[in-house]
């Protein structure tokens, strides 16, 4: 029988969702008035695009209300902060996308319906999450096959560039987005099952250490006395090999497609989960050293890596050519100043692909430093709640899964925000919940569904 819903947590969630709704609807009104502010006239008649924007925001509100209703009926005592945080960011992102490209704003609203439906389906699944752990190789193999199909049937919706999507009937799926979730599930399951032989010492019966002592001498004890000896290197590599094989194959598959952002993200998540499972900083140091070595090798082997590194190091050498995006991004962020130009009053459309890779630059120009700090706070608190769930939940698999999903959200946000502000080379990934991208949105809503399940102990044991 389900536990009763804690009234305080329920009120807190409703209040936070109301706060998110107030922000989104106020920003919608401001965005609708922006053309009149630009023109200096105050004709308050509704335009055709306003109906589309209002319809998308109503879709967002209905999705948030339905998700909250189902969640509180199905998973009582869940984390009350996850849903408001996610829909706050999603609604804000929907407004930014509409401001840049109304066509993509409408598509994002449709993807939001799909993402919410899948998240609700995960919430309603009976039982616990053992099915994820039991079929880890099946999930990962499916993700690898799906990603491999892009070599044969891959397309690019823009008509040029790397073919990283699978398309049908006007809808496009980026398999790498699905693969990053499945790889995280695989790592959590494998590391949970192999944590002791991989990172700790193996218990050995005393009789094996001292053959002259017979086990009969231990008769009458409730359990055998054991001592520990270090795991041999050969045995450790025996357990490490399947892990490294699956991870290496995933990375090579993505590098062969020139998807450097996902490759970096996979490597970083792999390191974080190794640290969570072992607690050894040496693995992180070794991994970062390998990442730097791979970066140097990529600089000399791949033109796309060389171009991004040179554009990061000194974008002013070719500001109208290969560094055009990053230069326009820096100008837009600087133009935002402290309070921003205002919703719809900046010029972020000068940045190519602003609705996807450079949505953070749009936010910085139109919402200023205050908006940037607000977005950072929301994303940071979302990651914090995920880590809190990892600490509170029971079981190694649940802890590693919650920690891995939280790390995935945080690392991807850091990679793209650092890239568009020239703190690190641009990687070309999307900003979670804010950027346009159906595959990314659906994948992250799946992660939130899993975190909500993990935040309810009675459903995850």
- The region of weakest confidence among 117-126, 308-317, 410-419 is 308-317
Q: Cβ of 398: how many Cβ atoms within 10 Å?
A: 24
pLDDT of residue 42 exceeding 80, the answer is: no
CA angle 204, 206, 211 (to 5 degrees): 115
Backbone Cα Rg of the chain = 25
What distance in Å separates the CA atoms of residue 84 and residue 433, rounded to the nearest whole number?
Answer: 12
User: Has residue 2 been placed in a domain?
Assistant: no
Cβ–Cβ under 8 Å, residues 237 and 364: no
Query: Which secondary-structure segment (H or E) carries 394?
Result: none
In a domain, 233, yes or no: yes
pLDDT (tens digit per residue) in 296-326: 877 887 787 788 888 888 888 888 888 888 9
The CB-based long-range contact list for 148-157 (8 Å cut-off, 24+ gap) reads 148/253, 149/175, 150/175, 150/257, 151/257, 154/257
Q: What is the mean pLDDT of residues 81-98?
A: 96
Q: Is residue 1 part of a domain?
A: no
State how many domains the chain has.
1
Distance CA 414, CA 421 (A): 11
- pLDDT of 144 over the 60 cut: yes
The pTM score is 0.86
Q: Which two tokens stand for residue 48?
A: 């055709």
Supply the range of the domain harboring residue 43: 7-459
How sure is the predictor about 461, in pLDDT bands with cuts at 50, 70 and 90? very low
Highest mean pLDDT: which of 185-189, 240-244, 265-269?
185-189
Instruction: Determine contact, residues 451/405, Cβ cutoff 8 Å.
Output: yes
- 377 is a domain residue: yes
Report the share of the chain in percent with pLDDT over 70.
80
Tell me the mean pLDDT in the region 427-447: 91
State how far the Cα of 293 lies from the Cα of 151, in Å rounded to an integer.
27
Mean pLDDT of the chain: 81
Stretch 398-408: mean pLDDT, rounded? Answer: 94
């Amino acid at each position: 029988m389900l536990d009763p819903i804690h009234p305080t947590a329920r009120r807190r969630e409703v209040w936070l969702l109301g706060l998110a709704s107030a922000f989104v609807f106020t920003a919608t009104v401001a965005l609708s008035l922006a053309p009149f502010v630009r023109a200096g006239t105050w004709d308050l008649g509704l335009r055709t695009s306003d109906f589309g924007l209002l319809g998308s925001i109503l879709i967002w509100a209905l999705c948030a209300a339905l998700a909250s209703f189902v969640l509180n009926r199905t998973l009582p005592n869940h984390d009350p902060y996850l849903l408001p945080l996610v829909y706050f960011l999603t609604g804000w992102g929907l407004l930014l996308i509409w401001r840049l490209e109304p066509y993509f704003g409408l598509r994002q609203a449709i993807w939001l319906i799909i993402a919410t439906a899948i998240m609700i389906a995960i919430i309603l699944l009976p039982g616990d999450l053992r099915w994820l752990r039991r079929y880890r190789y099946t999930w990962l193999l499916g993700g690898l096959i799906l990603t491999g199909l892009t070599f044969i049937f891959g397309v690019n919706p823009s008509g040029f560039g790397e073919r990283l999507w699978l398309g049908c009937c006007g809808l496009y799926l980026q398999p790498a987005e699905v693969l990053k979730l499945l790889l995280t599930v695989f790592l959590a399951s494998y590391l949970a099952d192999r944590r002791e032989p991989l990172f700790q010492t193996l218990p050995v019966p005393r009789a094996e250490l001292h053959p002259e002592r017979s086990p009969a001498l231990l008769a009458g004890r409730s359990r055998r006395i054991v001592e520990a000896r270090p795991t041999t290197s050969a045995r450790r590599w025996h357990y490490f090999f399947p892990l490294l094989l699956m991870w290496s194959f995933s990375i090579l598959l993505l590098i062969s497609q020139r998807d450097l952002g996902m490759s970096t993200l996979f490597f970083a998540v792999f390191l974080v989960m190794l640290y969570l499972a072992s607690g050894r900083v040496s693995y992180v140091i070794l991994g970062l050293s390998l990442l730097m070595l791979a970066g140097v090798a990529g600089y000399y082997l791949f033109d796309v890596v060389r171009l991004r590194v040179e554009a990061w190091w000194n974008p002013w050498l070719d500001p109208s050519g290969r560094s055009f995006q990053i230069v326009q991004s820096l100008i837009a962020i600087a133009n935002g100043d402290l309070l921003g130009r205002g919703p719809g009053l900046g010029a972020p459309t000068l940045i190519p692909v602003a609705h996807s890779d450079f949505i953070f630059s749009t936010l910085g120009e139109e919402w200023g430093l205050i908006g940037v700090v607000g977005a950072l706070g929301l994303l940071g608190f979302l990651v914090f709640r995920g880590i809190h769930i990892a600490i509170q939940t029971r079981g190694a698999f649940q802890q590693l899964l919650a920690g891995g999903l939280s790390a995935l959200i945080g690392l991807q946000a850091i990679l793209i925000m650092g890239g568009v502000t020239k703190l690190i080379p641009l990687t070309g990934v999307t900003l979670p919940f804010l950027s346009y991208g159906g595959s990314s949105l659906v994948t992250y809503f799946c992660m939130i569904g899993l975190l909500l399940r993990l935040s309810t102990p009675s459903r995850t044991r």
